[in-house]
Amino acid sequence: MNRLKSIFISLYFTLLFLGVVRAFWLLPESGYGVWMLVALVPGLAFFIWVFAFSIARTGYMSVVMWVGPLLACAGMLMNDVVAIEAWLWVLGVGLGFASLYIRWYSRYGKRFNMLLQNGNRLPELSFENPQGETVRLSDFDGPLLLLFYRGNWCPLCMAQIKEVAEQYNALAARGLKLLMISPQSHANTAELARRFEVPMEFLVDKELKAAKTLGIEALVGLPAGLEVLGYDSDTVMPTVIITDAERRIIFTHQTDNYRVRPEPATFLRALADADI
């Protein structure tokens, strides 16, 4: 299933781009090019918005991916458009792919992991820092925040990490140490670490050892084709875990939708509730 999703998301973005180009090509000679633009531009604009404006969560904004195709369908019916190509782009790519993206691709299904329930002690986990040195949870004192992210390629992950960095002082004031963890390469991890001036720890979960221990791995979770940029096809489901100084879990967020991420304010409330 993950392999199918990997291919789907790359194909969807490619078809949106090609469809918009095709629509502009058709504008001078046929009227249905306009309806193709109405159907496809919102989806393409949604992805550009997420990539360009550091969006950590999309909320209801994804509905714009449906509105365009529905308006295009109404317009085509009112104007008696019968061109098969137009209907394929509008219904197939515009409406069909948007529905699959929102209702299927971005969802993991219900996640329930007994190991990650509040009150449980987090097992000892080991990672590597960007220099390739082994780092263990026992090397850190005090409460911890472990943020498992998919990789530099994921714009929502990057936006979430940026939000956490912006609230670093408030989180660190409570003694919290911030660990940003991904299975991506040391080089990509080091490049990400250089973007932030606050002393968060950026760690590599090599071969997904920690993720598999915690049951949060996402095998073949990388969009097809990004392997050429040096990313491994296996990644993680975005997950946040906060522990007290004894490594007992006081908060965890296992999203069932990668477009839904907790805000730093939620972490601060969890720490306050635990008297940290």
pLDDT digit string (tens) for 212-260? 999 999 999 999 999 999 999 999 999 999 999 999 999 999 999 999 8
pTM (2 decimals)? 0.93
Residues 141-198: tens digit of each pLDDT: 999 999 999 999 999 999 999 999 999 999 999 999 999 999 999 999 999 999 988 8
Average predicted confidence (pLDDT) for the chain: 93
Same domain, 267 and 152: yes
For the chain, the straight-line distance linking the first and the last C-alpha, in angstroms and rounded, comes to: 41
The yes-or-no verdict on residue 29 having pLDDT over 90 is: no
Q: Which of 105, 124, 156 is the last residue of a domain?
A: 105
Same domain, 175 and 234: yes
- On the 0-12 / 13-18 / 19+ scale of CB atoms within 10 A, 119 is exposed
| Structural domain count, the chain | 2
How big is the CA angle at 237 (ends 231 and 241), to the nearest 5 degrees? 120
pLDDT the model gives residue 242:
97
Same domain, 176 and 255: yes
Q: Which residues contact 275 (CB under 8 A, 6 or more apart)?
A: none
Same domain, 101 and 118: no
Q: Quote the domain boundaries for residue 191.
A: 114-273
The yes-or-no verdict on residue 59 having pLDDT over 80 is: no
Q: Residue 181: give its domain's CATH number.
A: 3.40.30.10
Q: Which pLDDT band holds residue 61 (cuts at 50, 70, 90)?
A: confident
Q: Which of 51, 83, 105 is the last residue of a domain?
A: 105
Residues 79-124: tens digit of each pLDDT: 999 999 999 999 999 999 999 999 999 999 888 888 999 999 999 9
pLDDT the model gives residue 58:
87
φ and ψ at residue 71, rounded to 5 degrees: -65, -40
Q: Which of 42, 76, 105 is the last residue of a domain?
A: 105
